[in-house]
Amino acid sequence: MGQMQPEKNTYRKRGLLTLFFRWLSIGIQSFGGGSATFFLINQACIKFGWITEEEFLNAWALAQLTPGINLIKLTVFIGNRLHGWRGVLTSLTGLLIPSALVTLLMTAFYSQVQSIASVKAVMRGILPATIGMALAMTIRMLSPILKIAIKEGRYRFGIHIALVVITTIAMAAEMVSPLLIMLLTGAVSILLFQLTVGSVPQLEGDQPG
């Protein structure tokens, strides 16, 4: 797809260079975790007309379903749409080089200073906050699913809660491989949700369209 005519070569090269610097600026500016990066990519899509808002939302939804970091998948999708595999490579290096380098430098710096008493004290505050961030992320992932589950009736809701509790314990016990836990939970879900189809109050399959 996207065959390029020979005379467009210089245009393309310039296009790739511009693309690289645009992603680079996203990569440098995106302090403060994924939400900042997401916001900047969305902004760039609108500003530079990379993809439409609808394509953007679609790509983001699909990114949730395939493996890997969602923001990287979004970058791959946009890069591919703009310039094929060259666009993918350009966008990825632009986004990741600064962030990865700063992450590495910060870690290197941290390993140098981690034994200083005041740094230890600061980290003793940051580490519990990291746990808090992880829990907040989990709550944010879980709440939309539970909202759907409540509408599906008491049995379905109970199944959801039970599966989360069981997988949590299985992981905390550190005896079962995470992959096995995921596959088993998926398989058990097919079975349990199929069995409880009758208990769902006229919900599934009655959406218009």
Partner 1 sequence: MNIWTYFWIFLKGSLFSFGGLGNLPFLHQDLLLRGWASEADFINAIAVGQLSPGPSGLWSISLGYLTLGWLGGVLALLALTIPPLLSLGVNSFYQKIERKKPVKYFSRGLMLAVIGLSLGVTWSLSKTAITGWKDILIVITTIGLALSQRVPVIVILLLAGLVGYLIYGI
Looking only at residues 134 through 193 of this chain, which bind partner 1 when binding is defined by CB under 8 A? 134-142, 145, 160, 163-174, 177-179, 181-182, 185-190, 193
- Count of chain residues binding partner 1 (CB under 8 A): 96
Q: Are 113 and 98 in contact (CB under 8 A)?
A: no
Which of 75, 78, 83, 87 is close enough to bind partner 1 by CB under 8 A? 75
Of 47 and 191, nearer to partner 1 (C-beta) is 191
- Cβ count within 10 A of residue 77: 20
Which of 33, 48, 112, 150 is close enough to bind partner 1 by CB under 8 A? 33
Q: Helix 34-48 crosses helix 9-29 at what angle (to 10 degrees)? A: 150
* CA atoms of 107 and 149, how far apart (whole Å): 41
Site map 94..133 versus partner 1, x via CB under 8 A: -xx-xxx-xxx-xxx-xx--x--xx-xxxxxxxxxxxxxx
Which residue intervals of the chain are DSSP H helices? 9-29, 34-48, 53-63, 70-113, 117-151, 154-173, 178-195
CB of 4 to partner 1, least distance (A): 19
Of 56 and 77, nearer to partner 1 (C-beta) is 77
